Amino acid sequence: MTDKKLERSAIRGRFLHAKTVCDPSSCTDENIQHFEDGLLLLEQGRITFFGSWADGKDLIPQDCPLHHHQDKLIVPGFVDTHLHFPQAAIVGGYGEQLLQWLERHAFPAEKEFHDADHAADMASFFLKQLLRNGTTTASAFCSVHAISASALFEAAEHTNMRLIAGKVMMDRNAPAELLDTPQTSYDQSKALIETFHNRGRLHYAITPRFAPTSTAEQLAVAGALKQEFPDVYMQTHLSENLAEIQWVKELFPQRENYLDVYHHHGLTGPRSIFGHSIHLENQEYDRFQETDSVMAFCPTSNLFLGSGLFDMKKARDHKIRVGLATDIGGGTSYSMLRTLAEAYKVLQLQGQNLSPWDALYAATLGGARALSMDHLIGNFDVGKEADFVVLDPQATTLQAKQYKRVDSLADLFFSLVILGDERSISHTYVAGRLVHEQSAQ
C-alpha cells in the first residue's frame, strides 16, 4: 500500500539554485534564483511547484504534509561525478603519490570485494556517507568483481538514488586477484548493463580503470560495448600523474597522447567522463571539445596525492563540460562543501577564481549537466526529480558567529563552502523522500 505522505509533500524555507546553465563562463546573479520565503511542492518524487510562499500557499493540497526549514538554506542535491566505491573506507591512507598509493591502499581494499556480504555491507556504508554529506547523485567505480557492482546498484535502488556505476575492467598491471580478461570483462559488463542500466534511476558505466591496467584488446572490447549500448556511460582516468602519463606513452607508443588511447578505441563522447584530466596537451583539450567529452575535477585527491592543479580556465576556454568530484578514497572527504573549498584554493593558486555562484553551480546543475542529466536533476525546475539538501549555516559555533556577520546571500553560501562539512547537512531528500536527518545521527 502506497504511503500518501510520500506521494505529496510541501517544503517551506529559504531556497537557492542555479536556474540556468552557466557554462562555459562564470555564473552571475542572472543565473541564480533565490526565494527568502519559498515553497516547493512535490508529488511522486517530482517537483510540481517552485516559487514564493505567497504565490504557492493556496496550491497546497488539503492532505499534503508541510515541512518548515526555518533559518536554513535549501539547495539542489549535490552531484559527485567521480569516486570509488571499493575505496569507501581507506580515505586518508598515507602512500605518497598515485601509483604507490594504488599498490599500498587501493588494490588491497578492492580484493575484499569478491565477497558478496562484504560488498553489500560496504554498499550500505558508502551510500549513507554520500547522503549524510548531501550527495544525491554519483558516478562510482566498483571493483573488478561483478558482485560489487550488483551490490551497489541494489543498495542505490533501495534508496532510489540516481546512480551511475560500473564494474572495473582491468587485465594487466594489477594483482592477480583483481584481473579479468577482455572476454570476461565484456561478458560481465554486458550482463550488468542488461540487468541494471536504466532500471529506475540506475545507469551503467563501462569502466576501464585506466589505460595502464587494460590491454589494447580490453579497450577494444570496452569500445565495442559502448557501440553496442550507445546510451551507457564510460568512465576512466586521464592524465592524473606525470609518472602515469610517461607509463602510458611506454605502453601505447603508437598513440599520439594519453587521450588518444581512449579515442582510438571509441571511448570518447558526451557520456564519457575522464577523472582528473590535469596534465593535458593542447591537442587533448581540442579533442575534448570536438567529442563533447567530460572532465571530472578532483581537487582534494589532486592535492593529497600531489598530482597537480586542474586548469579550469583552459577547460572553460574550450567549452568543456566539467563536473566536480570527491574521488573517494584518494580524495580526502565525502563532503562536496569541503571539495568546493579545495577547488577554490586550487584555482586561486593559478590566478583563477571560483565565485560563490560558480561553486553552487558546480555542485548542482553543473554536475548534472556534466552527467547529461540536467533535464532530470540539478535545480528546482518544475517536472524535475526532487533531490535536494537543507543546509544549516549555523551548524558549528564558528559558523553561527559568521552567520551574524554576512550581509549577502553570496557571502552566506561562500561561508558554507569554506567552513562547512557533513555537520552542515541538516536534511537530505532523494526523490522527495527524507533519507538523512542530522538530528537523527
The model's pLDDT over 287-313, given as tens digits with 9 standing for 90+, comes to 999 999 999 999 999 999 999 999 999
**Percentage of the chain modeled with pLDDT above 70:** 98
DSSP label of 300: H
- HSE toward the beta carbon, residue 306, CA cutoff 13 A: 10
How high is the pLDDT of residue 440? Answer: 54
pLDDT in tens, 356-369: 999 999 999 999 99
How far apart (Å, rounded) are the C-alpha atoms in residues 302 and 97? 10
User: All 3 cell numbers of residue 232?
Assistant: 551507457
Residue 1 has pLDDT above 60, yes or no: no
pLDDT in tens, 194-231: 999 999 999 999 999 999 999 999 999 999 999 999 99
Q: Give, in order, the Cα–Cα distances in Å from 353 to each of 27, 32, 33, 189, 309.
A: 11, 18, 21, 40, 13
How far apart (Å, rounded) are the C-alpha atoms in residues 162 and 202? 6
What are the φ and ψ backbone dihedral angles of 272, each rounded to 5 degrees? -105, 120
Q: Residue with C-alpha cell 601509483? A: 99
- HSE toward the beta carbon, residue 123, CA cutoff 13 A: 26
pTM over 0.85: yes
How far apart (Å, rounded) are the C-alpha atoms in residues 82 and 95? 20
CA dihedral 184, 190, 194, 198 (to 10 degrees): 130
| CB 279, CB 242: distance < 8 Å | yes
The residues, ordered by sequence, that sit 6+ positions from 293 with a Cβ below 8 Å of its Cβ are 268, 269, 270, 272, 273, 274, 287, 320
Query: What average pLDDT does this structure show over 145-173?
Result: 98
The residues, ordered by sequence, that sit 6+ positions from 327 with a Cβ below 8 Å of its Cβ are 82, 83, 84, 275, 276, 296, 298, 300, 301
Residue 165 has pLDDT above 60, yes or no: yes
How far apart (Å, rounded) are the C-alpha atoms in residues 424 and 356? 17
Name the burial class of residue 427, with classes exposed (0-12), middle (13-18) and buried (19+) by CB atoms within 10 angstroms of its CB.
buried
How far apart (Å, rounded) are the C-alpha atoms in residues 314 and 297? 13
| CB 238, CB 262: distance < 8 Å | yes
Q: Which three-class secondary structure state does DSSP give residue 8? A: strand
Query: What average pLDDT does this structure show over 255-264?
Result: 98
pLDDT in tens, 404-415: 999 999 999 999
Highest mean pLDDT pick, 87-101, 104-118, 364-378: 364-378
Q: Which three-class secondary structure state does DSSP give residue 404? A: coil
Query: What average pLDDT does this structure show over 321-338?
Result: 96
Question: 146-159 and 182-196 are packed helices; what angle lies between their axes, rounded to 10 degrees?
Answer: 20
What are the φ and ψ backbone dihedral angles of 346, each rounded to 5 degrees? -60, -45
Residue 153 has pLDDT above 90, yes or no: yes
User: All 3 cell numbers of residue 343?
Assistant: 577547488
Are β-strands 135-141 and 168-169 bridged in parallel, bridged antiparallel, or unpaired?
unpaired
Q: Which amino acid is at 209?
A: R
Indicate the pLDDT class of residue 130, thresholds 50, 70 and 90: very high
How far apart (Å, rounded) are the C-alpha atoms in residues 330 and 333? 9
**What distance lies between CA 65 and its chain's CA centroid?**
31
How high is the pLDDT of residue 6? Answer: 52
> Which domains can be identified in the chain, with CATH numbers?
4-76+379-440 (2.30.40.10), 78-334 (3.20.20.140)
Is the alpha carbon torsion for 59, 9, 377, 29 positive or negative? positive
What are the φ and ψ backbone dihedral angles of 144, each rounded to 5 degrees? -70, -15
The residues, ordered by sequence, that sit 6+ positions from 121 with a Cβ below 8 Å of its Cβ are none
Residue 10 has pLDDT above 80, yes or no: yes
- Within 10 angstroms of residue 150's Cβ, the number of other Cβ atoms is 21
Query: What average pLDDT does this structure show over 66-77?
Result: 95
How far apart (Å, rounded) are the C-alpha atoms in residues 314 and 286? 10
Higher pLDDT, 105 or 191: 191
